[in-house]
Copies of this chain bind each other. A is one copy, B any other.
Amino acid sequence: ADVKKIAVIAGDGIGPEVVAEAEKVLKRTEELFGYQFETEHALFGGIAIDEKGTPLPEETLKVCQSADAVLLGAVGGPKWDNNSKELRPETGLLGIRKALGLFSNIRPAFIFDCLKEASTLKPEVLEGTDLIVVRELTGGIYFGEKFRRETANGQEAVDTCAYNVTEIERIARQAFEIAQTRRKKLASVDKANVLETSRLWRETVNRIAVDYPDVELEHVLVDNCAMQLLRRPSSFDVIVTENMFGDILSDEAAMLTGSIGMLASASLGEGSFGLYEPVHGSAPDIAGQGISNPIATILSVALMFRLTFGYHEAADSIERAVKEVLDAGHRTGDIAVDKSTAIGTLAMGQLIVDAM
């Protein structure tokens, strides 16, 4: 049988709780569809710092490298915020992206019908919003040379932002291909009126565009995009942008849907391997109380099924189950209007498993 290996990284804060529910969904999929998964747990982030003295232990990297996909809960928390750079969870995150060659971060942002009211945007503005931010994830100012030096004006810090044509081409192609499966609109976001990397970005995207004549391409300046996401969110289909702009815009896009506790993300490289995780963070303030919302992590499994394994039927089953449970009125505290009727993490996970 075709056994799929999944590296499971529970991580910190609410990570372990939400990942546990997602694993129940994996099991249920085996029963329902006859798939076989072999999961291997690995330490990463804050807990790895505590137990192994580094956010990304060699072992963890090996487990990921020998897997077909990675399921990640969440990492980080105040406990490690004042650590030196090498001992911070974020350093592990940047390290794993680079080590696994995950150059593309896919973040779908859409509205759950039953959560329309959860957004701070007016429902009529949100109506029909369904976009994907494709963020370059292993280049740009995140990974360029960084240093300090003394100057006549005191210490100076320097970050370097670099992009080469190969890096831009592969992310652009991926974004065009995703747009082809959707509404065929691509917004490429840059700051070409100021940055040299953005000018190379724009030139390269324009050159690649010739291969995708069915996709309508627009170039949007990053400041304008931050505005247009607020003014006309539903007009965007696929947005492609570099690492730093993508960090900011994907969070803005997720937040405006009002569904941030529900959104999944994928980080992809060449081939079918991918790392899947909820968009929300480790929420240390509510960790361990059994009240966190496992839906984004469960939907990350559905995304893994679609993008890495091509198990579309199983992905449909998960997504339908989530919709059914929400439509029946079940809510965790974060998305409940009447908090007194909220159910816990375990109950929500079980309801979804039962509805599959």
Contact = CB atoms under 8 A, between A and B. Distances in A.
B248 A223 contact: yes
**A-side interface size class:** 35 or more
Given A153-B166, A191-B244, A244-B191, A197 B121 contact: no
B167 A162 contact: no
A341 interface: no
Contacts of A254: 227
A226 B158 CA distance: 24
B156 A163 contact: yes
Given A227-B252, A255-B227, A141 B161 contact: yes
A157 to B, nearest CB: 4
B195 A146 contact: yes
Interface in A94-118: 94
A33 interface: no
Contacts of A224: 251
24 contacts: A121-B121, A121-B122, A122-B122, A144-B158, A146-B196, A148-B196, A148-B200, A154-B166, A155-B200, A156-B163, A157-B162, A157-B163, A157-B195, A158-B196, A159-B195, A160-B160, A191-B247, A223-B250, A226-B255, A230-B230, A230-B256, A231-B255, A248-B248, A252-B252
